[in-house]
Amino acid sequence: MSGAARVVLATRNAHKVVELREILADLVAGTGIDLDTAVVGIADVSDAPDVVESGVTFAENSLLKARAACAATGLPALADDSGLAVDVLGGSPGVFSARWSGGGGDTANLQLLLTQLADVPDEHRAASFVCAASLVTPGGDEHVEHGRLSGTLERAPRGSGGFGYDPILRVDEHRTLAELSPAEKNAISHRGQALRALAPHVVALLTAG
């Protein structure tokens, strides 16, 4: 592998950087790629300001971020946009998931959603995590893939893993996403699905030359 081959992750979220590297680890096994140096976060290579996520779909927002990161760094850029789509809320919070409480952060977002759903019976608490992941290269190539993980919303958070709404989406008979190990989560997650679909393109870039 060329020592200069790198891909930038268009996120400043430390949780996502770790999670994305974990997902890619199995996919590049045996290639000689060191993900700690080959895959970097945007903060490691650029002080460009965050992109305004003005898109109305996850795909639009992921492309906005990937294009901006590619332009700012000159590197192939990988970005995702994801959120929680609640059936009884018509797909909301959706693209507004990260700012559902108006900027209060993960805990405030989660508590506000639980309050809004307090009177919703168990049989109507279906929801899905949705992700769009995009890869943009300096040469102008663009790839977008999607993933979805469906489950049922609990009435109180459970589990210490993950982040965001992970502690309230039950994804099997007993456990929320926050109660799964990182390996279990990455194997089924919406982000894992989308990134695995993009992985052949990422590996091709990192092994080129």
User: Which is the catalytic residue, given 26, 50, 81, 119?
Assistant: 81
86 - beta bridge partners? 127
Q: Write the DSSP assignment of 37-80 as a string of letters.
A: HHEEEHHHH--PPPPP---SSHHHHHHHHHHHHHHHHSS-EEEE
Distance, CA of 85 to CA of 41 (rounded, Å): 27
In the block, which residue shows the tokens 């997650």?
189
What would you report as the CA-atom Rg of the chain, rounded to the nearest whole angstrom?
17
Cis? peptide before 200, omega within 30° of 0 = no
Length of the chain, in residues: 209
Q: For residue 205, which phi and psi values (nearest 5 degrees)?
A: -65, -45
Helix axes 190-207, 14-27, angle to 10 degrees: 70
Q: For residue 61, which phi and psi values (nearest 5 degrees)?
A: -65, -40
Q: CB–CB of 201/133 below 8 Å? A: no
Residue 81 among the catalytic residues:
yes
Q: Which residues are catalytic?
A: 81
